[in-house]
Chain A
Amino acid sequence: MNKWLKITLISIGSLLGLFFVVVAIACWLVFTPSRLTGIVNSLSDKFIDSETHFENVDFSLFKTFPNAGIAVSDFYVVNPMDGAPSDTLLCVEQLTVGLNVMEFLRHGNIQVRQLVLNNADANIFIDADGNNNFSIFPSSEDTTEGEPFRMPEEIDIQSITICGLNCSYVDMQNVIVTDVKDLSLDLSFSLQEAKTGKGNIKLNIEHLDFCQTDDSLQTSLVATLDNFALKTSGTVTDLSLGNISIGISADSLGFSQLSQEKNELISTRLYDFNSHLKAKGDLHIVDGSVDLKLPKANLALDGSALINDALCSSQDNLLELSVPFTFNLDSMEFSTEQMTVALDQLKLLLKGVVSLSRQDRPMQMNIDYATNAISIRHFLPYVPDLYSDVLKDLSVDAKLSLDGKVDGYFSGDTLPVVTCDIMLADGDFSYAGIPMDLKQISANIAARIDASKNGLSNLNIKKIQASYRHNTISLNGRVDDLMGKMKIDAALKGNVSLDEIMPFLPDSLPLSAKGTSSIDIKVKTSMDQLTQMDIKNMKMDGGVTVSNLEVSYDSISIISPSVQVSLDLPSQHSRLKTPELADITISSSHLDVNMPASQANVILKNAYFSVGVSDVMNAMSPISAALKVSVENTEMHYDSIDVVVEDLHLAGNVTHDSAQSNIIYQWNPSLSVAFSRTSLFMPQMPEALRLASFQFDYMPGHCEIAEADIHWGLSDYHLSGTVDNLEDWLDQTKQLYAKVNLVSSYTDVDQIMDLVSGMGSDPDTLEAMRQEDHVSPDANPFIVPRDVNIDFNTNIKRCIALGNDLSNLSGSVSVRDGKVVLDQVGFACRAARMQLTGIYKSPRPNHLYLGVDFHLLDIQIDELIDMVPFVDTLFPMLASFDGQGDFHLAIETYLDAKYQPKVSTLLGSTAISGKDLVVLPGETFNTMAKYLMFNKKTENKIDSLDVEATLFRDRIDVYPFLLSIDKYQVCVSGIHSLDNACNYHLELLRSPLPLRLAIDVKGSLNKPQIGLGKVIYNDLYNPEKTDAIKTRTLEIKKMVREALESNVK
């Protein structure tokens, strides 16, 4: 440096020094603190409406060099308002402002380049009417509009420093209370030509409280912040960003929602929160990254912690977030290639683009996301304590991973669509309360969530599968309208061993089952239908096939190689008056049902059961069901009874009536039943009962037999008719009524009597009656069914009854409450026509009533005696005749258990008529002919014979009758007994002889003593001469005959 230059510089420096000394002296002399303080206080009174005070105002050139500084200390503004927590609006200990002197001197602009605020208190208050305490400046009278704000091209803030700022903000209008303690700010920012600049911001808040109350919800939102720090720095060069850095940290950041009673509904607190953003780029593209670390946090719901200590202490950081990004300022698109969110071992990777909203488009998002495969077991300890009890006995694990996409717009009610593939693998599940350890749980579910208005969300369950020992079960299907009605369309398939689901049933249930079930069920329903049990509108079809079934319930066991159970909901049939809710069918090729306790066994082959039920959920409608049963072959064994039924078909319906007490009337069945080729084997039946076909319609109280084709031994029965009160009769409350048409080509009556004997009576009661009545064991009397009223309209070609062979039997046979009545049954026997009215009653086993009104017309006398040997007892003399006649018998007696008559109860009457009879030669006839002096040439032919007799106990009274033989007419009458004692009188009324002879036959019929007797019937048939006794005799004789013959049809 040369000498002149040095001299020049020293001179200039000296001049500048002198200048600053002069200015300083001038400032110190002119802008004295007291003078400035006075000026400021007077101006504040003029321009500020509230009370203000400036303790000291100083001007300095050195403290803020190179800027001119104005320092204010200890100033305050007081603006009291009702309700305000303090009347002081602002109280500042120290405020220094640095101004650009050169800008002021050159252009007259006041340019603030420095601001330092130390230890200030602010109290901002807004009352409920919107009045505030910070509107302290008088309103301007200048009504002209100012120029709109325009960002200046040049900004140069060298330093804004705030230290120790405490601020209170109370907004009664919006019910907001905010309190900030010890806020410090250090800010510098400069901008040149609106494209180049740099800046730094450091903000620290020691403590912040925020509270806003929502009166309508009666809740409060509370936020607190401790040791919050914000640090930003960056540069802009020719509109290019250079290393923009934003760091945010806080010791504690909390939010909570309080109830009216100040209870925490939701609360969360983040500890040692630390985030950092770095970015660089230009006005078009900004690349950067955001990193966030959250070591610890609390989250509570209704006071229950959702983040437990285990989760907080699981890793260094509870949550880590790393977002490398590119932000295109032109297209306003934010994109990331690998955003990571880490929560313990859960890693969430995201990549995609978020397009911010512009005038020409709404905000758009297109992000792919995926998680790593995590172990659910690892996360179980992190389950909140609130649910820890559930996990106490739970063991669960699986590898879970999510993979999906968020794609769509944010526009009004439109939100992006979220899709998610949920993959679950290698899962297992066990719970102490469930005796089943599920293994190999896997799932593949695709979810689509569209939260937009009218958006459709759904789940596509590709497969959910689990195994338990040898059992597997899988589910697939769809859930549409996931956010709304949740329409479910699912298919459940599986193979389940019945014995392995038995542990699920209560121990008290006496049920055990073995077999393998194959399940295949499809369901279409909605969540509303499930929650409301609206089965009526669900759709379900499918079934279960059980192989090698072995079920035992109590003492009943069922064995089948295969049983198919299917369900059809709603039913496709309309067999009921009301819509059918469901159709359940059960079919099996072979069902073996055993009831050892009852010694019963039923085997069904090719069985099919169909039940269509009504809407059982509708309490207003009675439960009804349509039934359809078909069984190709049924074999039943009960006790010692065997039944084989083929082609059983049953169809009909039942309707439940809970008001009824009888189970039949409770279900009110209306059934049509048909079966064929049925065999019934019973020990008391020597031969099997076979039903070629049987069809009947049944409803409570009434059974209509359309056709019954029955074969029993040689007998055959074709039945039709009605049966009433069957169930009440079984219930022993009413009598059974039946009207049956019976057509038979051959009927064994004895066989039927053996079968129905005692029907309707309790076997024990019958046995007690037998013992009480001293019935010998070898006796088996027919006991007429009790409480039974059956009318048989018979048409039988051939019949065996009590050893008699009858034919063309027709008439009415009735069973009336312990009484059997054959009402004028007509039939033919050998060469005779017969008519029988018979009554049989069994009041006691050893005291049986038999009443018979019996007519044999046009019968050979020898046939008659052969057919009814009792006739020979009644009329011993009849054996002496040959020819054809009519026989009438009305008799009643009581029988013992072996059907032997009780003679003391015998009571009857009988009549025989004959014409052109021949008297057979014999010793007795010859003797009597000798006594009556018959001519040896007398022809032994009788023109007519009319005999009437009565029977009382062992005595037979034969009323007087006439025998006309050749030229002789003999009147015969007498008495004989069953032990052959006799007292007969024969009197010759007409003869060639002029004599009236009579003989008496006495003693034993086998060896009668015949002698001449007294003539007593000389005027018997002469009304004019007969006496009263003889008239009475004739009246009785006439009465007996007329009574007997009147019953002949």
Chain B
Amino acid sequence: MKWSPMRGLLALFIIPFCFVSCDKSEVSFNSSDLIGKWKENGSSTYWRYDSGGSGLTWDESEDVSEDDETTMRFSWSLSEDVLQHVFSGDEIHQAVVQDYTILELSNTSLRWNTGLKTVTLSKVN
């Protein structure tokens, strides 16, 4: 396509609008709904949120159970719609932060977006 002055003026007009967006809406959830054990739908991955900000996660398909001493532990915090998990290695003690955006949270269901995918979880107890 051949570049013309008109097209350039049109681009100068349109492009700034490309970078204009609405502010993110402020959504918050009740963290007490989070307390309990959740299972990711369609997988064998579990998350358990305990009051006090600690939690466990494990995948039974990889021979790890809730009672296993090696089950991965984390601390969590819920700020507006961002559920932050802070993991620390057992021996290496490297810190890993995982922020998930809560899309839905009720007493029985939970849905979050990891940045790559949206995951739905159900409370199992």
Contact = CB atoms under 8 A, between A and B. Distances in A.
Interface of A: 773-774, 837, 839, 843, 846-847, 849, 851-853, 890-892, 894, 896, 902-905, 907-909, 950-952, 955, 957, 975-977, 981-983, 995-996, 1012, 1014-1015, 1036, 1039-1040, 1043-1044
A851 B63 contact: no
A955 B114 contact: yes
Contacts of A774: 63
Nearest to B15: A995
B62 A903 contact: yes
A975 B90 CA distance: 24
A909 B62 contact: no
B96 A908 contact: yes
Contact of B96 (A894, A909, A1012): A909
A332 B17 CA distance: 167
Contacts of B91: 839, 849, 851, 892
16 contacts: A774-B63, A843-B69, A853-B92, A891-B92, A892-B94, A896-B62, A902-B63, A903-B62, A904-B58, A905-B72, A907-B87, A908-B92, A957-B115, A975-B114, A1036-B97, A1039-B95
A850 to B, nearest CB: 9
Interface in B84-120: 87, 89-98, 114-117
B61 to A, nearest CB: 8
A851 B18 CA distance: 46
Contacts of B93: 1043
Contacts of B57: 904
A892 B92 contact: yes
Contacts of A983: 115-116
Given A981-B117, A996-B19, A907 B89 contact: yes
Given A955-B114, A995-B15, A996-B19, A909 B59 contact: no
A909 to B, nearest CB: 4
Contacts of A975: 114-116
Contacts of B59: 902-905
Contacts of B62: 894, 896, 902-905
Contact of B19 (A902, A908, A952, A1015): A1015
Given A904-B58, A957-B98, A977-B116, A839 B92 contact: yes
Residue among A847, A890, A907, A950 with most chain B CB within 10 A: A907
Contacts of B58: 904
Interface string B64-83: 10000110100000000000
Given A852-B92, A892-B89, A1014-B19, A952 B98 contact: yes
A728 to B, nearest CB: 27
Given A981-B117, A996-B19, A890 B64 contact: no
Contacts of A890: 89, 92, 94
Contacts of B122: none
A950 B92 contact: no
B54 interface: no
Contacts of A904: 45, 57-59, 61-62, 64, 72
Given A894-B70, A1036-B95, 17 more contacts: A839-B91, A839-B92, A851-B89, A851-B92, A890-B89, A890-B92, A890-B94, A891-B92, A903-B59, A907-B72, A907-B94, A909-B95, A952-B96, A955-B116, A995-B15, A1015-B19, A1043-B94
Given A905-B72, A977-B116, A950 B64 contact: no
Nearest to B94: A890
Given A846-B63, A902-B63, A902-B64, A851 B95 contact: no
A774 B45 CA distance: 21
A907 B61 CA distance: 18
Contacts of B117: 981
Residue among B58, B70, B96 with most chain A CB within 10 A: B96
Closest 4 interchain pairs by CB? Answer: A904-B59, A890-B94, A902-B62, A851-B91
A849 B70 contact: yes
Contacts of A1043: 93-95
Interface in B8-46: 15, 18-19, 21, 45
A976 B115 CA distance: 9
Residue among B45, B58, B94 with most chain A CB within 10 A: B94
Contacts of A1040: 94-95
A133 B72 CA distance: 130
Contacts of A908: 89, 92, 94, 96
A490 B27 CA distance: 112
Nearest to B16: A995
A480 B92 CA distance: 85
A905 B89 contact: no
A762 to B, nearest CB: 22
A846 B70 CA distance: 13
A482 B73 CA distance: 93
Nearest to A853: B92
B73 to A, nearest CB: 10
B96 A907 contact: yes
Given A907-B72, A955-B114, A1014-B21, A892 B90 contact: yes
Contacts of B15: 995
Contacts of A907: 72, 87, 89, 94, 96
Nearest to A995: B15
A981 B116 contact: yes
Given A849-B70, A851-B89, A1043-B95, A894 B64 contact: yes
Contacts of B115: 957, 975, 983
A905 B91 CA distance: 13
A289 to B, nearest CB: 117
A1039 B115 CA distance: 22
A577 to B, nearest CB: 50
A847 B64 CA distance: 9
B82 to A, nearest CB: 8
A626 B114 CA distance: 75
A837 B72 CA distance: 21
B55 to A, nearest CB: 14
A849 B19 contact: no
Nearest to A900: B62
Nearest to A1044: B94
A981 B114 CA distance: 12
Contacts of B116: 955, 975-977, 981-983
Contacts of B21: 1014
Nearest to A839: B91
Given A847-B70, A902-B64, A975-B116, A950 B97 contact: yes
Contacts of A950: 96-98
A326 to B, nearest CB: 117
Contacts of A976: 116
Contacts of A977: 116
A1044 B69 CA distance: 26
